[in-house]
């Protein structure tokens, strides 16, 4: 996540996985999309703490200042549905994460990614949902050779004309470049990659029983970080998806979205990401309000990091108000220690239960735009 680089043009293909087998050459439609260059910015910025400039001995002033500081972090009231009985299977969910990690690295365009994609398609087929693929080619950042990438769109209640999109990326970084000992060692991406996949795989077991307010699409983005150097481009999959939605509007509308990234840290701390607050405040507030009502304390109602992630394309290109749920305090980010042993079934459960509950109470005004 975070940085982006050069632009280019690409060929794209959209396929209905329900009708054809993986690897089939059937092409339903061909699009041509151009990429714009994005300016690189730091991955995050330190939190801004409240500041009182100067000294004042006035008691009324100090009382007022105290009130202002104490009210920071108060969550607005949120109309909630009755809490649903979610029989989340933590062992099964964590088993999915382990199964993904057993494949090994899952870099875009590699055999590992193909194995993972086949496994994901086979998993979601059992739930009777509609599965579509958005395949496109990009230039490899080192060789310039074409790299085939594929977004997966998994739809529940596909006839609904108002929908919510839950997204994650399912590719892994080529190397653990932040690892001080083995920066060219194997990168498994248990939290940074597999956690979102495992989250959605378990959520699929519950989609028919929770009765979401809107239709729901799980979208898995390819090419979030096919990055070898700091200036290489990020977010291929989410930008392609966002441009597709903007330039060839479907016969339905996404009322809002959520990106889930790095959600299985054993020491889970989910602060409000600053771009989410700025671009999708209602979505962000409603998510953290749901967590508060469920007493999931790992959702911390305080802004901390500003992260460039897949939610930027959803907001800026597609115009879909989208929040990012991300634990950016993960100590094993982009290292060889980002393995299943650094992740927690409990953390996955807490995020999954919040998202399932939230789907039943997405603020109705978001669909009235």
Residue in the block written with tokens 């977010």: 235
Task: Identify the pLDDT of residue 251.
Answer: 97
Measured distance CA(105)–CA(73) in Å, rounded: 39
Task: Identify the pLDDT of residue 316.
Answer: 98
| Pair of tokens at residue 161 | 């004309």
Residue pair 239/115 in contact by the 8 Å Cβ criterion: no
Task: Identify the pLDDT of residue 363.
Answer: 85
Measured distance CA(329)–CA(42) in Å, rounded: 15
Residue in the block written with tokens 């632009």: 7
Residue pair 291/228 in contact by the 8 Å Cβ criterion: no
Task: Identify the pLDDT of residue 44.
Answer: 36
Task: Identify the pLDDT of residue 293.
Answer: 96
75 — phi, psi (to 5°)? -80, 130
Q: Per this entry, what is the length of the chain?
A: 369
Residue pair 128/155 in contact by the 8 Å Cβ criterion: no
The DSSP string of 58-112 is -HHHHHHHHHHHHHTTPPPP---PPPP-----HHHHHHHHHHHHHT----TTSHH
pTM assigned to the model: 0.82
Q: Which CATH superfamily is domain 9-34+85-368 in?
A: Zn peptidases (3.40.630.10)
Task: Identify the pLDDT of residue 75.
Answer: 59
The DSSP string of 135-188 is EEEEE-TTT--EEEEEEEEEEESTT-SEEEEEEEE----SS-TT-SS-TTS---
Task: Identify the pLDDT of residue 79.
Answer: 55
Sheet containing strand 29-34, strands side by side: 29-34, 9-16, 130-139, 146-156, 215-221, 162-169, 253-261, 322-326
Residue pair 259/217 in contact by the 8 Å Cβ criterion: no
Ordered by start, the domain boundaries in the chain are 9-34+85-368
Q: How crowded is residue 44: how many other Cβ atoms within 10 Å of its Cβ?
A: 17
Task: Identify the pLDDT of residue 125.
Answer: 97
* Beta bridge mates, 303: 272
Measured distance CA(95)–CA(345) in Å, rounded: 9
Measured distance CA(219)–CA(216) in Å, rounded: 10
29-34 and 130-139 beta bridge pairing: unpaired
235: left (phi over 0), alpha (psi -120 to 50) or beta: left
Regions of the chain where pLDDT drops below 50? 3-15, 17-72
Task: Identify the pLDDT of residue 28.
Answer: 29
Query: Minimal CA–CA distance to 219: which of 321, 325, 131?
Result: 131
Task: Identify the pLDDT of residue 364.
Answer: 73
**Axis crossing angle, helix 345-359 with helix 281-293, rounded to the nearest 10:** 110
Q: What are the distances in angstroms from CA 223 to CA 191, 241, 277, 334, 338?
A: 16, 11, 25, 15, 19
Task: Identify the pLDDT of residue 42.
Answer: 36
Three-class DSSP category at 275 = helix
Q: What pLDDT digit, counting tens, does each position of 267-319 carry?
A: 999 999 999 999 999 999 999 999 999 999 999 999 999 999 999 999 999 99
**Which parts of the chain fold into alpha helices (H)?**
59-71, 90-102, 111-125, 195-203, 207-210, 236-247, 274-279, 281-293, 311-316, 345-359
Query: Minimal CA–CA distance to 172: which of 115, 222, 122?
Result: 222
């Amino acid at each position: 996540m975070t940085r982006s680089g050069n632009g280019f043009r690409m060929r794209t293909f959209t396929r209905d996985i329900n009708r054809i087998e993986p690897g089939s050459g059937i092409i339903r439609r061909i699009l041509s999309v151009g990429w714009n260059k994005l300016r690189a910015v730091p991955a995050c910025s330190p939190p801004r703490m409240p500041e009182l400039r100067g000294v004042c001995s006035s008691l009324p002033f100090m009382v007022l200042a105290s009130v202002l500081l104490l009210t920071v972090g108060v969550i607005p009231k949120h109309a909630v549905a009755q809490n649903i009985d979610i029989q989340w299977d933590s062992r099964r969910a964590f088993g999915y994460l382990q199964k993904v990690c057993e494949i090994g690295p899952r870099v875009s365009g590699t055999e590992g990614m193909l194995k993972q994609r086949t496994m994901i398609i086979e998993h979601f087929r059992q739930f009777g949902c509609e599965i579509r693929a958005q395949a496109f080619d990009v230039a490899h950042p080192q060789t310039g050779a074409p790299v085939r990438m594929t977004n997966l769109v998994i739809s529940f209640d596909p006839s609904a004309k108002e929908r919510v999109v839950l997204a994650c990326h399912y590719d892994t970084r080529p190397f653990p470049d932040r690892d001080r000992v083995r920066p060219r060692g194997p990168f498994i991406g248990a939290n940074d990659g597999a956690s979102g996949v495992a989250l959605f795989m378990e959520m699929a077991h519950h989609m028919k029983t929770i009765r979401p307010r809107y239709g729901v699409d799980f979208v898995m983005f390819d090419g979030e970080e096919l990055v070898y150097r700091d200036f290489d481009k990020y977010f291929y999959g989410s930008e392609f998806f966002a441009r597709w939605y903007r330039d060839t509007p479907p016969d339905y509308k996404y009322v809002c979205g959520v990106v889930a990234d790095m959600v299985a840290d054993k020491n889970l701390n989910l602060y409000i990401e600053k771009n989410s607050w700025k671009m999708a405040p209602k979505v962000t507030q409603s998510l953290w309000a749901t967590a508060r009502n469920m007493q999931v304390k790992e959702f911390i109602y305080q802004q901390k990091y500003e992260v460039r992630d897949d939610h930027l394309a959803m907001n800026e290109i597609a115009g879909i108000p989208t929040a990012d749920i991300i634990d950016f305090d993960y100590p094993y980010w982009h290292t060889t220690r980002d393995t299943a042993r650094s992740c927690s079934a409990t953390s996955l459960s807490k995020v999954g239960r919040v998202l399932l509950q939230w789907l039943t109470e997405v603020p109705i005004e978001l669909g009235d735009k």
